[in-house]
Each structure stands twice: as C-alpha cells, then as structure tokens.
Amino acid sequence: MSFYQEMRQYVLRHGAINNLYLDRFQRGDLTDEEIRQFAVEFYNFARFFPKILVAQLVNTEDETVANELTKVLYSELGDGHSRKRHELLYRDFLRSIGKDVHEAMTQQMLPSTKSYIEGMEQLYSSGNHATALGASFGLENMAITMWDHLIPGLTRLRATRYPAMDMTYFTFHRELESGHEEAMEKAVAAIDGGIDAGAGGLSVQEREDFHRGVKAVLDYLEGFWTGLEKAGFQRRQDLEGAAVAPGRLHEGATQLTG
C-alpha cells in the first residue's frame, strides 16, 4: 500500500466521520433546536475556511502544491462568480430555516467549534509544509463521507419539517468534492514522487509530520461533532428536567403540608 493510500484509509476510519452525531444526523434524528445549532456552528466553518486556505497558500513553498491549493480556493470563492461564493450559498440555507445571518455571525461559538476553527487555521498556516499539507489532505478526503451523512439527513428534514430549506450549499459541495480530492492527490504526488510510488519523495520525518497534520485536523473535527452532540444531549436533559419539575414541586408541597 502506498503512503497516499495508507493516509486515505486512515482518514476514512477516523471518528471525524464515524460518530454518533453524524449517524443521528443522517437519519434526520435531530430536534429543531439541534438543527438550528448545527446551522450556526457549521456556518463558522463555511465563512472562515477561505481565510484558512489563504493562510496555507501564502506559506506554501512548492509551486505545484500551491497551484492545487489555488484551485480549491478559487472554487470556494465561486470560480469567478461572486454570487456563487460558498459562504453566500450557506447564508441562503440559514435564511431558509429561519435563522438570521447577523445573529449567526455574532453568536458565540461553542468551545469545541472555536477549537476546530482555530486549530485548523494553525495547522494550515504551519511553517511545517508537510504538516499543513497533511491537514488539508485530511479535510478534503473526509468531505465526501461527511456530505453523504449530512445531505440525506437534511433531505429528510426538508420533507418533514422544513419544506423551504435551501440545500444548495451542501449538494453543490458534494458535486465539487471529487475535484478537491483530485487536487490533493496531485499535491501529494508532487512532493512524494507519485501516488503509487514505493519509497516516494518524502523523508521519514516528513511522512510523520504529514500524518500528524492529518490526525490533528481530524481530531479537531471529531471534537466539533462531539461538542454538538454534548450540547444537544444537555439541552434534552434540561428540557426533561423542566418537564418533571412541577410534579416535584407539588410533591414537596404535599410533604410540607401533610
């Protein structure tokens, strides 16, 4: 197995795309509040990702790799069509489920979301080229699996509760993703002597650094989903507690007057 194939298999087995939250999402098994929270938290990724890509681009020495990163960035910005900028497509999704864009932009992030965004920016802008490329590789190679969890869940939710939902941001990304994966293949090939190369061009240390970048970005993403799962669980517990509170109060009053 080549280094490229080994890293891709690592991505596909990681908890970033194999977790309870995404499984529930795929089934459409989320409360309205959980959907709204997802929409706002994921928006932070949608709006900050171009900035993160620029940070990587300006720190990339290899021109072939920089060329592939430029293609991904150009795609994020709408391929020359400003109205197709991905963050604007996401705003359409927010509005379609009744979320105000200003509110979404100003709402405080969950700590896990903040860690994900800041961690990703730190990885992408790393002076260690192999680590930065590994982070980008990890994100691009998990994306199709992620969309294949999110889109079916959103489709079910649109059919049952949100008939006006605009899913263009998600379906559009799913269509583009194979191109982003191809860009990462070419980027890795440029520095590792080809996808099927045995020894490749990366040193042992560079491969370790690359793997470290892959693992780190996926760990941050797994933390992002875990944060959403915990927040939803806590909210459900709070609601259940509130529902039984009047009964408990009545019982306590009976004890006091009995």
| Beta-carbon contacts of residue 88 (< 8 Å; ≥ 6 apart) | 78, 82
pLDDT band at 173 (very low <50, low <70, confident <90, very high): confident
pLDDT, one tens digit per residue, over 27-60 is: 999 999 999 999 999 999 999 998 988 888 887 7
pLDDT at 146: 96
Whether 195 has a pLDDT exceeding 50, the answer reads no
Task: Give the other-Cβ count within 10 Å of 9's Cβ.
Answer: 12
Above 60 in pLDDT, residue 88?
yes
Say what the pLDDT of residue 248 is: 53
Domain ranges in the chain are 3-257
In which band, very low, low, confident or very high, does the pLDDT at 184 lie, cut at 50, 70 and 90?
Answer: low
pTM of the complete model: 0.83
pLDDT score of 110 more than 50 = yes
Which CATH superfamily, name and number, covers 3-257? Answer: Heme oxygenase-like (1.20.910.10)
Q: pLDDT category, 113, cuts 50, 70, 90?
A: very high
